[in-house]
């Protein structure tokens, strides 16, 4: 057994400087210089493995194929602080309960966006960072998703369901869209002058950095910071904004924001940059740090009022399942949503999501239910989401699309077609989910609180699509179904989605 293998076997994975030192101290070689050459030869011969191309400061981590996942991950976690960009990604994974999007990786690592024409310093493009994180094992791909990853084996575990995480991401995107209107009014942003991320998993580029929103703005007396004034007059600046919907803004989030802010100001010294953060709440250390560095921390309460703050707390508990059996909490959330002056936007989104949760609860006595099931076509690459999947062992699988419509709202023919034709096609692909061969009975049900007269006539009767039984459950059937399961559920449907 080569000495270098013996050392790694006895001590576990080691950084190159430590491994070289042990080779010298055990007289396997005469100097650190020759020790490094010996390490390189061992890698070439396949005797040992390394984390190349991921380097921690000036060192690679070397290990054996026989090292367990846990031993390898423990060694990586120990050395990770020497690579701050990846360490921030790891911290965000933990803060997110085990998941992360490509956009969050971009923001936390401070990479150069894929669209950037050039790199700066040691910063590399997002696509390369993701490839390195996958190679390192810090993140793993999620089946059916191209922009969402989970924490790697040995580094931690996912602590919430993927469906809950994707719901929070969609909520964040809805909040961001509503927030744009607020920013336009408060900071005098031109209607078409801003850039905002186009999806919940991405970011927008600003001066080779990544944000959720950026825009040229005029800053005036409404601004708390005195640094943005020029002799008491409004001045032009660029606003850059980070949004977090589903958890507190932490010190790790702040460090990532400040790192990107430093890059912007170093490259663009003559232009003022006005940074903002939007979150439900802030950790004390994060709040102090943001204010100290001139970042304006905003809460939902300041932007939308007290109702939204209370509503989002209830929504989070319900989606996480902490309170999903308590229908009183669902009713309280619906009541806040209904009583708000602005019933569209974020309030409308949450009301729609709560209808999905209630549908999931209605099927739960007899089925195992999953919210937000993602399916991907192996043939075309198309992505689709199913609101609720209800499974009864290997016997029955139900694909449920849930639409809690307002009174007199017509059902959309395109929406129904997408559920019955597109989702069924992808779900039944032989080299995909292969749902029709997995279960004895498969049904696609479009559940809507619209009246039957408001549903396209061609979808009233039961039909078959790609071997899957398809039918619409309209208002009367919905009430009867919920009544048969739980009267309180049925009353909530009548009160907030029908009357």
pLDDT in tens, 216-258: 887 555 444 444 444 555 556 888 999 998 899 999 999 999 9
| Same domain assignment for residues 245 and 125 | no
CATH number at residue 443: 3.40.1350
Over range 333-343, report the average pLDDT.
76
- Look at residue 227 in the predicted model and tell me its pLDDT: 44
- Look at residue 117 in the predicted model and tell me its pLDDT: 65
- Look at residue 327 in the predicted model and tell me its pLDDT: 86
- Look at residue 121 in the predicted model and tell me its pLDDT: 59
- Look at residue 223 in the predicted model and tell me its pLDDT: 47
Over range 127-146, report the average pLDDT.
93
CATH number at residue 55: 1.10.10.10
Structurally, how many domains does the chain consist of? 4
Q: Which pLDDT tens digit goes with each residue over 418-453? A: 889 999 999 999 888 999 999 999 999 999 998 888
- Angle at alpha carbon of residue 431, lines to 159 and 469, rounded to 5°: 85
| Same domain assignment for residues 209 and 114 | no
417 has a pLDDT exceeding 90: no
Residue 230 lies in a domain: yes
120 has a pLDDT exceeding 70: no
159 has a pLDDT exceeding 80: yes
Q: Which pLDDT tens digit goes with each residue over 453-489? A: 888 888 888 899 999 999 999 999 999 999 999 998 8
| Same domain assignment for residues 20 and 41 | yes
| Same domain assignment for residues 11 and 59 | yes
| Same domain assignment for residues 136 and 169 | no
Residue 351 lies in a domain: no
List the single range of 83-92, 264-273, 387-396 with lowest mean pLDDT: 264-273
| Same domain assignment for residues 42 and 140 | no
Residue 349 lies in a domain: no
Which of 241, 276, 306 is at the close of a domain? Answer: 306
Q: Provide the pairing of β-strand 441-448 with 383-392.
A: unpaired
Distance CA 206, CA 184 (A): 18
- Percent pLDDT > 70 in the chain is 91
List the single range of 40-49, 69-78, 268-277, 282-291 with lowest mean pLDDT: 268-277
CB-CB contact of 446 with 490 (8 Å):
no
- Look at residue 224 in the predicted model and tell me its pLDDT: 47
Write out the two tokens for 373: 């099931």
| Same domain assignment for residues 53 and 103 | no
Residue 329 lies in a domain: no
pTM: 0.87
Residue 236 lies in a domain: yes
Residue 13 lies in a domain: yes
Residue 189: domain span: 164-306
| Same domain assignment for residues 26 and 121 | no
| Same domain assignment for residues 376 and 389 | yes
Residue 322 lies in a domain: no
| Same domain assignment for residues 89 and 125 | yes
- Look at residue 79 in the predicted model and tell me its pLDDT: 96
Residue 353 lies in a domain: no
Which of 306, 331, 353 is at the close of a domain? Answer: 306
Helices 84-95 and 251-267: crossing angle, nearest 10°? Answer: 140
CB-CB contact of 116 with 208 (8 Å):
yes
In terms of pLDDT, which residue wins out, 317 or 67? 67
CB-CB contact of 374 with 383 (8 Å):
yes
| Same domain assignment for residues 191 and 282 | yes
| Same domain assignment for residues 262 and 211 | yes
Which of 127, 161, 195 is at the close of a domain? Answer: 161
With a CB cutoff of 8 Å and minimum separation 6, the contacts of 65 are: 49
CATH number at residue 141: 1.10.10
Over range 362-366, report the average pLDDT.
91
DSSP string, 31-58: SHHHHHHHHHHHHHHTSSEE-TT--BTT
270 has a pLDDT exceeding 90: no
CB-CB contact of 20 with 32 (8 Å):
yes
- Look at residue 273 in the predicted model and tell me its pLDDT: 87
């Amino acid at each position: 057994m080569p000495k270098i293998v013996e050392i790694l076997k006895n001590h576990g994975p080691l950084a190159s400087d430590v491994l070289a030192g042990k080779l010298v101290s055990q007289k396997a070689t005469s100097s650190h210089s020759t020790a490094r050459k010996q390490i390189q030869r061992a890698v070439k011969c396949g005797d040992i493995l390394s984390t190349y191309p991921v380097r921690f400061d000036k060192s690679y981590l070397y290990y054996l194929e026989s090292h367990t996942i846990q031993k390898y991950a423990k060694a990586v976690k120990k050395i990770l602080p020497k690579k701050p960009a990846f360490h921030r990604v790891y911290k965000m994974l933990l803060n997110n309960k085990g998941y992360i999007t490509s956009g969050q990786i971009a923001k936390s690592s401070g990479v150069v966006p894929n669209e950037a024409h050039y790199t700066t310093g040691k910063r590399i493009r997002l696509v390369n960072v993701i490839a390195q994180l996958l190679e390192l094992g810090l993140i793993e791909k999620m089946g059916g998703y191209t922009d969402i990853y989970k924490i790697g084996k040995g580094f931690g575990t996912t602590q919430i369901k993927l469906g809950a995480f994707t719901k929070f991401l969609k909520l964040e995107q809805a909040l961001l869209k509503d927030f744009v209107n607020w920013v336009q009014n408060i900071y005098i942003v031109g209607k078409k002058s801003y850039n905002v991320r186009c999806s919940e998993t991405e970011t927008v580029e600003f001066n080779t950095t990544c944000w959720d929103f950026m825009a040229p703005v005029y800053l005036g007396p409404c601004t708390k910071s005195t640094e943005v004034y020029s002799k008491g007059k409004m001045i032009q600046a660029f606003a850059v904004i980070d949004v977090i919907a589903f958890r507190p803004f932490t010190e790790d989030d702040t460090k990532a924001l400040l790192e990107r802010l430093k890059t912007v100001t170093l490259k663009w010294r003559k232009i003022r940059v006005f940074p903002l953060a939007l979150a439900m709440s802030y950790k004390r250390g994060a709040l102090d740090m943001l204010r100290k560095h001139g970042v304006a921390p905003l809460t939902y309460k300041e932007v939308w009022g007290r109702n939204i703050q209370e509503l989002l707390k209830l929504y989070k508990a319900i989606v996480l399942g902490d309170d999903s059996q308590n229908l009183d909490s669902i009713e309280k959330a619906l009541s806040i949503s209904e009583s708000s002056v602005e019933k569209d936007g974020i309030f409308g989104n949450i009301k729609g999501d709560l209808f999905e949760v209630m549908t999931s609860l209605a099927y739960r006595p007899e089925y195992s239910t999953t919210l937000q099931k993602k399916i991907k076509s192996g043939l075309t690459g198309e992505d689709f989401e199913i609101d609720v999947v209800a499974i009864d062992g290997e016997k029955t699988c139900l694909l449920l699309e849930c639409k809690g419509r307002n009174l007199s709202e017509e059902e959309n023919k395109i929406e129904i077609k997408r559920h019955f034709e597109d989702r069924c096609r992808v779900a039944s692909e032989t080299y995909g989910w292969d749902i029709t061969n997995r279960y004895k009975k498969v049904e696609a049900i479009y559940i809507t609180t619209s009246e039957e007269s408001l549903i396209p006539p061609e979808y009233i009767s039961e039909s078959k699509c790609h071997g899957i039984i398809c039918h619409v459950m309209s208002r009367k059937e919905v009430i009867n179904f919920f009544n048969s399961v739980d009267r309180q559920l049925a009353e909530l449907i009548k009160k907030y989605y029908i009357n």
